[in-house]
Amino acid sequence: MTNLKSNLITISAFAPATCANVAVGFDLLGFAIAGVGDVVTLTRRNDEHILISEIISDEPLPMDPDKNTASAVVKYFCQDLNIKAGFDIKIKKGLALGCGMGGSAASSVAALVAVNAYLAQPLTAPQLVKYALHGEHVAVGTAHSDNVIPCLYGGITLTQSLSPLRVLELPIPDVVAVIVHPHTRLDTKESRSVLPREILLTDHIKQSAYLAGFIAALYEKDLDLLQASLQDCLVEPKRAPLIPGFYAVKQAALNHGALGASLSGSGPSVFAFAKNQSEALGIASAMQQAFSQHQLQSDVYVSLISTQGAHVVA
């Protein structure tokens, strides 16, 4: 049986929002966003039950411990490590469901980091990945890593392999990220359903060149190369019709100096990279205005790429 710290009763953890895919790296790339995310609090029980005691959210979330990503991850973690303990779980959502900013990943990763902190010998981030992936499987039926890994690690990451796990922590570019979240929901399952199962070899070659150029740009600190490489010829064209005004929003970002813009995760949020804070604010305003012309209000997040992943806060 895994030993727990006897003096800990309540632990809270914060997990940041994330932007997955980053245009060029479908299901591979992601980065963490500073300042917005979910907080999950675990409190030891006197029995071995794992229950959700409270959810603070603008939208309804499942209270069933097997259907909520936070509780499902804690349950799997405890079963796998033979932890004989129970927890009450409180979830404070900072991210809307289906917003394209890693909302399901943030809840499950925050819960995972909290329960891991009870261990006398906590697991490392790589060791936690398999439990985080279980949360994504509960949420969307697919254990994809492009949100949970940057959420755990922080920074910008590329998952080269899950079995065996091989995560590359990439150099963080000197850019400011802008994410605009329109007030509409697009579930990951729906967004994935429009993607083709097969692609043309010529498109694969083109996208591989963009991905290679993007990674080279990070290592060489070359924003011109980054700008030339931040293109998505595979996924964006298929998902764009699901988001009202997407191309107008993207063009507004580019017209105001963005280095590039594309879907954040599966959408409907749209991200852009700016050279500095001043340009980022102008880009954000233009993107919001473009969404409003398609009868969509929106929220804006302007942030550096966060170097810190999920962590204990209390």
For residues 18 and 63, what is the distance between their CA atoms, to the nearest angstrom? 24
CA 74-191-230 angle, to 5 degrees, is 100
Catalytic residue among 69, 188, 236, 279: 188
* Residue 136 falls in the annotated catalytic set: yes
Q: Which amino acid is at 65?
A: P
Catalytic residue among 41, 69, 136, 159: 136
Cα 211 to Cα 122, 173, 228, 257, 298: the distances in Å are: 35, 15, 11, 21, 29
Cα torsion 254, 149, 67, 37: sign: negative
- Token match 């063009």: residue? 251
Q: How many residues does the chain have?
A: 314
Contacts of 160 (CB under 8 A, 6+ apart): 28, 166, 167, 168
Query: Is the distance from CB of 87 to CB of 74 less than 8 angstroms?
Result: yes
Inter-axis angle of helices 103-117 and 69-80, to 10 degrees?
Answer: 40
SS3 state of residue 48: coil
Return the active site residues.
Answer: 136, 188
